[in-house]
């Protein structure tokens, strides 16, 4: 198949969270299965090895003409295509220290327009891809893609067969704008009802309404979208439930403790000795007492309402009165960032907080910690619990969405389970789960080793997911 994936983030070039990781990894897995894959994202800055193809396209948007250039980089069998326009060349992806960019609707509408021309204009080995491809759009940023596909191409006989599959990584972000902006999009008002939610232009709703198939990143979240986690779009999701798939994310080869370039030592399920060295190195790096026997808790997250940071804040006074260590890496809401700094000040021998974004430190926390806290309010899939399990770091999670689907609670009777998942979103649920985990850590070393190894041996590769995406695309063509 010819597959054209379009997203606002594409790791390792651009990333604020899991969207970037997934959009970077899935195309590689699809290419490895023999498909021709284009992964399209904005060119936020000059990327080494990505060359100007010479292809250009012009679009009329918001009252004036805009020209984009197409840059190309073939890596791991994937044709990475970066859309160049002056509005992308800024310090942040969605905003900077002054807030979100005021022209994001324009920037991502332009991405959709440019992406639809990419298979027609960007020369690959044997010329452009052509019209018989499947478009795979991601989140609200690409919600307008099927509007343009239907309104500007299909209505005049172009792309007669090409379907659009829309992937929902987070239904909490709609891309909602005042209705009068619709006039700037340069499509017929015939398409307004698809975009209209409560009188506002809603990009996510447009994608959900018009895409041939929908997919989200876990089976549980797919169900929850139709019931109570659709952020106001439950009815529409329920209406489209037969077209809505749930496919769990995988994790890429850069998250492997046996080869991870950010780690001071390496390890695997069969030989965990390198993990102890990673723990000691992390304690040293952060200026914590170097003690192998003390349980070290890690948190790496966007500090957002979604992530249930309140539960960690609620449990911390109890947790930090015990002989434990806690390391938090994250950035986001000011109230959470303030708490991270305050907690580290109050418990200098037990806690460290690192406010910011650091890919290397994220890897070293995953490797050096014993336990990982992820009490998300809702979680479409979640990657950090998957990374934790791969690194022998036992996750404690709220049983929601992808967390419920990937972290079975340890059952001493059967020897099954990879962590602890608590059912109700409440501080005492988290406290109780931590209590059980600490009891096992201190008192049952063999059981602890088993939980770690169960997680490390879990198949979290991308190939299984890629095979399901293949079937999804096939059904979209049908």
- List residues near ligand GLC by CB under 6 A: 17-19, 22, 169-170, 217, 249, 379-383, 402
Nearer CB in complex with ligand GLC: 152/381: 381
Nearer CB in complex with ligand ADP: 32/355: 355
**Degrees to nearest 5, angle at CA 136 with 196 and 158:** 80
Question: What is the C-alpha separation between 439 and 420, in angstroms, rounded?
Answer: 12
String marking each residue 374-403 x if it binds ligand ADP according to CB under 6 A: -------xxxx-------------------
Please choose which of ligand GLC, ligand ADP, none residue 217 contacts, taking the beta carbon within 5 to 8 angstroms, the exact cut-off set by kind.
ligand GLC
Nearer CB in complex with ligand GLC: 170/325: 170
Please choose which of ligand GLC, ligand ADP, none residue 301 contacts, taking the beta carbon within 5 to 8 angstroms, the exact cut-off set by kind.
ligand ADP
- The residues, any chain, with a CB within 8 Å of residue 335's CB and separated by 6 or more, are none
Quote the least distance from Cβ 153 to ligand GLC, whole Å.
28
81 binds ligand ADP (CB under 6 A): no
Q: Residue number with the shortest CB distance to ligand ADP? A: 18
Nearer CB in complex with ligand ADP: 153/357: 357
Q: Residue number with the shortest CB distance to ligand GLC? A: 18
Q: Are strands 2-6 and 164-168 parallel, antiparallel or unpaired?
A: unpaired
Q: Which of 435, 308, 428 is nearest to 371 (CA)?
A: 435
* Candidates 11-19, 55-63, 82-90, 129-137; binding stretch for ligand ADP (CB under 6 A): 11-19
Quote the least distance from Cβ 358 to ligand ADP, whole Å.
5
Which structure tokens are listed for 347? Answer: 């418990």
Identify the sign of the CA torsion 303, 307, 312, 313: positive
Order of all β-strands in the sheet with 176-178: 176-178, 200-202, 196-197
Per-residue burial over 4-13, b = 16 or more CB atoms within 10 Å of its CB, e = otherwise:
bbbbbbbbeb
Question: What is the C-alpha separation between 421 and 302, in angstroms, rounded?
Answer: 20
* Candidates 13-21, 122-130, 267-275, 443-451; binding stretch for ligand ADP (CB under 6 A): 13-21
* Candidates 17-25, 257-265, 272-280, 416-424; binding stretch for ligand ADP (CB under 6 A): 17-25
Question: Considering only residues 137, 301, 309, 404, which one is a binding residue for ligand ADP as defined by CB under 6 A?
Answer: 301
Quote the least distance from Cβ 418 to ligand ADP, whole Å.
16
Report whether the peptide linkage leading into residue 8 is cis, meaning its omega lies within 30 degrees of zero: no
Question: What is the C-alpha separation between 77 and 148, in angstroms, rounded?
Answer: 28
Q: What is the DSSP letter of 287?
A: T
* Candidates 16-24, 311-319, 423-431, 452-460; binding stretch for ligand ADP (CB under 6 A): 16-24
Identify the sign of the CA torsion 243, 249, 250, 252: positive
Nearer CB in complex with ligand ADP: 145/365: 365
Nearer CB in complex with ligand GLC: 283/406: 406
Q: Which of 26, 4, 30 is nearest to 117 (CA)?
A: 4
- The 10 Å Cβ neighbour count of residue 193 is 9
Question: Considering only residues 362, 373, 396, 476, which one is a binding residue for ligand ADP as defined by CB under 6 A?
Answer: 362
Helix and strand element counts for the chain (H, E): 16, 20
Residue 258: HSE in the Cβ half-sphere, 13 Å Cα cutoff? 8
String marking each residue 322-361 x if it binds ligand ADP according to CB under 6 A: -------xxx-------------------------xxx--
Nearer CB in complex with ligand ADP: 366/370: 366
Quote the least distance from Cβ 403 to ligand GLC, whole Å.
8
Q: How many residues appear in the chain? A: 478
Question: Considering only residues 9, 21, 260, 370, which one is a binding residue for ligand ADP as defined by CB under 6 A?
Answer: 21
* Candidates 18-26, 198-206, 220-228, 466-474; binding stretch for ligand ADP (CB under 6 A): 18-26
- The 10 Å Cβ neighbour count of residue 281 is 17
Quote the least distance from Cβ 313 to ligand ADP, whole Å.
17
Q: What are phi and psi of 470, to 5 degrees?
A: -55, -45
**Degrees to nearest 5, angle at CA 466 with 10 and 381:** 65
Question: What is the C-alpha separation between 320 and 326, in angstroms, rounded?
Answer: 8
Please choose which of ligand GLC, ligand ADP, none residue 47 contacts, taking the beta carbon within 5 to 8 angstroms, the exact cut-off set by kind.
none
Question: What is the C-alpha separation between 232 and 336, in angstroms, rounded?
Answer: 26
Quote the least distance from Cβ 478 to ligand GLC, whole Å.
25
Residues 217 and 169: beta-carbon distance below 8 Å: yes
Quote the least distance from Cβ 68 to ligand GLC, whole Å.
26
Please choose which of ligand ADP, ligand GLC, none residue 244 contacts, taking the beta carbon within 5 to 8 angstroms, the exact cut-off set by kind.
none
Question: Considering only residues 208, 300, 340, 389, which one is a binding residue for ligand ADP as defined by CB under 6 A?
Answer: 300
The three-class DSSP label of residue 7 is coil
Summarize as ranges the residues that interact with ligand ADP (CB under 6 A). 17-19, 21, 300-302, 329-331, 357-359, 362, 381-384
């Amino acid at each position: 198949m010819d597959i054209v994936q379009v997203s606002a983030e594409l790791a390792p070039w651009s990333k604020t969270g899991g969207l970037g990781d997934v959009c970077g990894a899935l195309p590689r897995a699809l290419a490895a299965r023999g498909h021709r894959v284009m992964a399209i994202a904005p060119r936020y800055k000059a990327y080494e090895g990505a060359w100007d193809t010479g292809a250009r396209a012009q679009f009329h948007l918001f009252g004036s003409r805009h020209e984009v250039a197409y840059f190309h980089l073939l890596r791991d069998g994937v044709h990475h295509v970066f859309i160049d326009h002056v509005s992308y060349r800024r310090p942040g992806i969605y905003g900077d220290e002054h807030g979100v960019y005021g022209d994001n609707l324009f920037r991502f509408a332009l991405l959709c327009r440019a992406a639809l021309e990419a298979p027609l204009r960007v020369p690959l080995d044997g010329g452009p891809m052509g019209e018989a491809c499947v478009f795979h759009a991601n989140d609200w940023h690409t919600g307008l893609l099927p509007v343009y596909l239907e309104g500007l191409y299909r209505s005049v006989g172009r792309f007669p067969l090409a379907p659009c599959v829309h992937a929902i990584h987070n239904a909490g972000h709609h891309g909602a704008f005042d209705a009068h902006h619709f006039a700037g999009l340069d499509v017929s008002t015939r398409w307004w009802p698809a975009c209209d939610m409560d009188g506002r232009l809603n990009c996510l709703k447009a994608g959900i309404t018009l895409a041939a198939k929908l997919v989200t990143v876990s089976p549980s979240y797919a169900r929850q979208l139709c019931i109570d986690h659709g952020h106001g779009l439950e009815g529409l999701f329920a209406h489209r439930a037969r077209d809505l798939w749930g496919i769990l994310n995988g994790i890429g080869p850069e998250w492997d403790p046996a080869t991870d370039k950010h780690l001071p030592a390496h390890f695997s399920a069969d030989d965990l000795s390198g993990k102890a060295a990673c723990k000691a190195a992390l304690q040293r790096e952060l200026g914590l007492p170097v003690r192998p026997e003390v349980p070290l808790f890690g948190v790496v997250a966007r500090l957002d309402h979604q992530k249930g940071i309140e539960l960690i804040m609620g449990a911390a006074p109890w947790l930090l009165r015990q002989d434990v260590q806690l390391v938090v890496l994250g950035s986001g809401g000011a109230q959470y960032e303030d708490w991270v700094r305050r907690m580290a000040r109050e418990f200098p021998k037990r806690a460290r907080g690192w406010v910011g974004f650091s890919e290397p430190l994220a890897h070293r926390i995953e490797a050096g910690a014993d336990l990982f806290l992820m009490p998300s309010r809702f979680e479409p899939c979640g990657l950090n619990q998957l990374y934790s399990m791969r690194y022998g770091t036992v996750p404690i999670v709220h049983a929601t969405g992808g967390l419920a689907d990937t972290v079975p609670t340890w059952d001493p009777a059967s020897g099954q389970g990879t962590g602890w998942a608590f059912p109700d979103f409440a501080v005492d649920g988290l406290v109780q789960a931590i209590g059980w985990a600490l009891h096992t850590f201190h008192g049952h070393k063999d059981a602890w080793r088993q939980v770690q190894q169960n997680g490390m041996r879990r198949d979290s590769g991308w190939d299984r997911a890629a095979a399901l995406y293949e079937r999804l695309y096939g059904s979209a063509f049908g």
